[in-house]
């Protein structure tokens, strides 16, 4: 029988390339939207469609005949809100318009022209930071909480989610909100690991209480594909994450992966914004935004944890990769790639 077909946006990126790998492992034929350089997809048997989220013809060609559409493409940082909204809101709506146009829900549409289930990737930042208990520990976010984003990126994702709910209730769309993601090919948490390889590990605020949920990219890709395949997930939103860790736990795991000790460098929360502004200014000199922008510095002052219990009930999702094992694999990949 012919393979089921999945269309993936953002497949040349970190998370998207792992989603492609997961889909191929399940026997899907994969078609990917590619601007120009296939990057990580060069090693896979993938059909490519040249274009981006602003190219209506490319989107129509991408979704034609697709059984699944997995939307991972997006912008995580920019100098202004408008740029993030164009990429994350307008780009998502353009894709869903293409799905609808190709007969995503029309009963009379021929099966070969229909796009079935759709997964849209959002972020924990769409929810905003955690509430904090009197003892200083955060209250993990759940899907029942109301979004209160504080960053430009979070606002763009929250606006995207709202638009999907308001305009595309006729499509079988699932929204996934990952927390911080790490693993081979990742470039932002990599900067923390690179700094640790030089002996310094900065910690904002307390290091002994859970501050962030971390998920290995393989766990995330598996959860995403499980959800887009599951009819029960249509119209629903899910966190797909991992355990919540204190920064001191993360530091010990990074030290174990690197095989060296680090100096714990406390960073007062009041100074993080200034550090982000400086990093952004320096990045501007070379024409590239750094991982720590002013927008990201705002988020770094808070705790970001979530519960994946709803995904567990829907598809049995449980993160499988322990932090120490995942970081050891990630560091080994960075070294093989010449990044460390």
User: Is 228 a residue whose pLDDT tops 80?
Assistant: yes
pLDDT at 104: 54
Helix (H) or strand (E) holding 125: none
User: For 5-181+214-241+304-322, which CATH class?
Assistant: alpha beta
Among residues of the chain, what percentage have pLDDT more than 70?
87
User: Is 269 a residue whose pLDDT tops 80?
Assistant: no
Q: Do residues 141 and 92 lie in contact, with contact meaning Cβ atoms separated by under 8 Å?
A: no
User: Is 42 a residue whose pLDDT tops 90?
Assistant: yes
Helices (H), 55-104: 56-63, 81-85, 91-101
**Phi/psi at 46 (5° precision):** -130, 135
Span 53-63, mean pLDDT?
97
pLDDT at 272: 57
Q: Sort 273 into a burial class: Cβ within 10 Å, 0-12 / 13-18 / 19+.
A: middle
Output the pTM of the full model: 0.91
Tokens of 1: 């029988």
CA distance 240 to 223: 6
Average pLDDT taken over every residue of the chain: 90
Among residues of the chain, what percentage have pLDDT more than 90?
79
Task: Read off the pLDDT band of 116 (50, 70, 90).
Answer: confident
Residue 234 neighbours by CB under 8 Å, 6+ apart: 117, 172, 173, 174
pLDDT at 173: 97
Per residue in 50-86, is it b (16+ CB within 10 Å) or e — as a string?
Answer: ebbbebeebbbbbbbbbbbbbbbbbebbbeeeeebbb
Q: Do residues 41 and 32 lie in contact, with contact meaning Cβ atoms separated by under 8 Å?
A: yes
pLDDT at 264: 92
Span 17-25, mean pLDDT?
98
**Phi/psi at 290 (5° precision):** -80, 170
The residue ranking higher by pLDDT, 237 or 106, is 237
Q: Do residues 186 and 217 lie in contact, with contact meaning Cβ atoms separated by under 8 Å?
A: yes
User: Is 280 a residue whose pLDDT tops 70?
Assistant: no
The tens digit of pLDDT for each residue in 128-153 reads: 999 999 988 999 999 999 999 999 99
The residue ranking higher by pLDDT, 293 or 82, is 82
Q: Give the chain's radius of gyration (CA, Å).
A: 20
Span 48-57, mean pLDDT?
97
Q: Where are the domains of the chain?
A: 5-181+214-241+304-322
């Amino acid at each position: 029988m012919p393979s089921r077909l999945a269309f993936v946006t953002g497949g040349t990126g970190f998370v998207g390339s792992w989603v492609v790998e997961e889909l191929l492992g399940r026997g899907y034929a994969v078609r990917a939207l590619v601007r120009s350089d296939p990057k990580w997809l060069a090693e896979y048997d993938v059909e490519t469609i040249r274009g981006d989220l602003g190219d209506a013809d490319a989107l129509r060609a991408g979704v034609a005949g697709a059984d699944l559409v997995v939307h991972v493409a997006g912008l995580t940082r920019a100098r202004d809100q408008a740029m993030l909204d164009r990429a994350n809101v307008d780009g998502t709506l353009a894709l869903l318009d293409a799905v609808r146009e190709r007969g995503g829900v029309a009963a009379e549409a021929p099966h070969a022209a229909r796009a079935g289930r759709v997964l849209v990737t959002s972020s924990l930042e769409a929810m905003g930071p955690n509430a904090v208990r009197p003892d200083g520990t955060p209250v993990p976010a759940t899907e029942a909480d109301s979004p209160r984003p504080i960053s430009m990126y979070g606002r763009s994702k929250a606006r995207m989610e709202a638009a999907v709910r308001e305009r595309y209730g006729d499509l079988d769309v699932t929204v996934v909100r990952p927390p911080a993601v790490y693993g081979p090919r990742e470039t932002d948490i990599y900067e923390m690991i690179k700094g640790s390889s030089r002996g310094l590990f900065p910690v904002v605020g307390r290091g002994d209480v859970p501050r962030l949920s971390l998920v290995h990219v393989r766990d995330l890709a598996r959860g995403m594909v499980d959800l887009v395949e599951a009819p029960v997930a249509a119209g629903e939103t899910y966190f797909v994450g991992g355990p919540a860790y204190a920064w001191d736990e993360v530091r010990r795991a990074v030290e174990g992966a690197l095989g060296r000790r680090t100096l714990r460098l406390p960073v007062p929360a009041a100074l993080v914004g200034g550090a982000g502004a400086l990093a952004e200014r320096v990045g501007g000199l070379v024409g590239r935004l750094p991982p720590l922008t002013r927008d990201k510095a705002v988020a770094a002052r808070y705790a970001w944890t979530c519960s994946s219990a709803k995904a567990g009930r829907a598809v049995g999702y449980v993160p499988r990769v322990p932090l120490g094992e995942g970081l050891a694999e990630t560091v080994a990949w960075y070294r093989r790639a010449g990044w460390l």
